[in-house]
Amino acid sequence: MAVLVTGGAGYIGSHMVLALHDAGEEAVVLDDLSTGFPWAVPDDVPLVEGDIADAALVAKIIAEYDVTAVAHFAARIVVPESVADPLGYYLANTVKSRALIEAVVTAGIRDFVFSSTAAVYGNTTVSPVPEDAPLAPVSPYGRSKLMTEWMLADAAQAHGLRYVVLRYFNVAGADPAGRSGQSTPHATHLIKVACQAALGLRPGLDVFGTDYPTPDGSCVRDYIQVTDLAEAHLAALAHLRGGGASGIYNCGYGRGYSVLEVAEAVKRISGVDFPVRLAPRRAGDPASIVADVRRIRADLGWVPTRADLDGIVMQALAWERELLAREGA
Ligand SMILES: NC(=O)c1ccc[n+]([C@@H]2O[C@H](COP(=O)([O-])OP(=O)(O)OC[C@H]3O[C@@H](n4cnc5c(N)ncnc54)[C@H](O)[C@@H]3O)[C@@H](O)[C@H]2O)c1
Ligand SMILES: O=c1ccn([C@@H]2O[C@H](COP(=O)(O)OP(=O)(O)O[C@H]3O[C@H](CO)[C@H](O)[C@H](O)[C@H]3O)[C@@H](O)[C@H]2O)c(=O)[nH]1
120: Cβ contacts below 8 Å, ≥ 6 apart: 135, 137, 142, 145, 146, 149, 167
For residue range 46-78, list pLDDT tens digits in order: 999 999 999 999 999 999 999 999 999 999 999
23 lines ligand 1 (CB under 6 A): no
Say whether both 104 and 123 belong to one domain. Answer: yes
DSSP 20-39: HHHTT-EEEEEE--SS--GG
Q: Would 271 be classed as within a structural domain?
A: yes
Q: Would 178 be classed as within a structural domain?
A: no
Say whether both 194 and 258 belong to one domain. Answer: yes
Q: What is the pLDDT of residue 187?
A: 85
Q: Tell me, what's the ipTM?
A: 0.97
**What spacing in Å lies between the alpha carbon of 183 and ligand 1's midpoint?**
12
Alpha helices (H) along 66-220: 79-84, 86-89, 96-106, 140-159, 190-198
- Count up the domains in the chain and report the number: 2
Say whether both 196 and 322 belong to one domain. Answer: yes
Dist CA 288 CA 219 (whole Å) = 6
Contact between residue 270 and residue 108 where contact means Cβ atoms under 8 Å apart:
no
* DSSP 3-state of 16: helix
What residue owns the CA closest to ligand 2's atom 18?
Answer: 170
Dist CA 329 CA 125 (whole Å) = 47
Neighbour-count burial for 58-67, b at 16+ CB within 10 Å, e otherwise: beebbeebeb
- The catalytically annotated residue of 89, 141, 168, 212 is 141
Q: Would 185 be classed as within a structural domain?
A: no
Say whether both 26 and 128 belong to one domain. Answer: yes
User: E strands along the chain, which residues?
Assistant: 2-6, 26-31, 47-49, 67-72, 111-117, 162-168, 170-172, 205-208, 220-221, 223-225, 247-251, 257-258, 276-279, 288-289
Say whether both 84 and 196 belong to one domain. Answer: no
227 lines ligand 2 (CB under 6 A): no
288 lines ligand 1 (CB under 6 A): no
Dist CA 55 CA 62 (whole Å) = 11
Q: Would 293 be classed as within a structural domain?
A: yes
189 lines ligand 2 (CB under 6 A): yes
Q: What is the pLDDT of residue 283?
A: 82
Neighbours of 284 (CB within 10 A): 14
Residue 141 annotated as catalytic: yes
Say whether both 155 and 197 belong to one domain. Answer: no
Domain boundaries, position 32: 2-172+225-251
Q: Would 182 be classed as within a structural domain?
A: no
The packing angle between helices 190-198 and 259-270, to 10°, is: 30
Please report which helix (H) or strand (E) contains residue 58, including its range: helix 55-65
Dist CA 10 CA 35 (whole Å) = 7
Q: Would 41 be classed as within a structural domain?
A: yes
Closest Cα partner for 94 from 55, 151, 144? 144
Say whether both 113 and 208 belong to one domain. Answer: no
pTM over 0.90: yes
Say whether both 216 and 229 belong to one domain. Answer: no
Q: Would 38 be classed as within a structural domain?
A: yes
**What spacing in Å lies between the alpha carbon of 216 and ligand 1's midpoint?**
32
For residue range 78-109, list pLDDT tens digits in order: 988 999 999 999 999 999 999 999 999 999 99
Q: What is the pLDDT of residue 40?
A: 98
The packing angle between helices 259-270 and 309-328, to 10°, is: 60
Atom of ligand 2 nearest to the CA of 191: 13
Dist CA 160 CA 80 (whole Å) = 36
Which pLDDT tens digits describe the chain residue by residue (329 residues)?
Answer: 999 999 999 999 999 999 999 999 999 999 999 999 999 999 999 999 999 999 999 999 999 999 999 999 999 999 889 999 999 999 999 999 999 999 999 999 999 999 999 999 998 889 899 999 999 999 999 999 999 999 999 999 999 999 999 999 999 999 999 999 999 988 889 999 999 999 999 999 999 999 999 999 999 999 999 999 999 999 999 999 999 999 999 999 999 999 999 999 999 999 999 999 999 999 878 899 999 999 999 999 999 999 999 999 999 999 999 999 998 87
Question: Which domain CATH number covers 68?
Answer: 3.40.50.720
Say whether both 259 and 288 belong to one domain. Answer: yes
Contact between residue 243 and residue 312 where contact means Cβ atoms under 8 Å apart:
no
Say whether both 215 and 140 belong to one domain. Answer: no
Please report how many Cα atoms fall inside a 13 Å half-sphere around the Cα of residue 52, on the Cβ side.
30
Say whether both 27 and 165 belong to one domain. Answer: yes
Q: What is the pLDDT of residue 327?
A: 87
Q: Would 180 be classed as within a structural domain?
A: no
Say whether both 65 and 146 belong to one domain. Answer: yes
Question: Which domain CATH number covers 308?
Answer: 3.90.25.10
Instruction: Please list the residues that pair with 162 across neighbouring strands.
Output: 111
- Largest separation between any pair of C-alpha atoms in the chain: 57
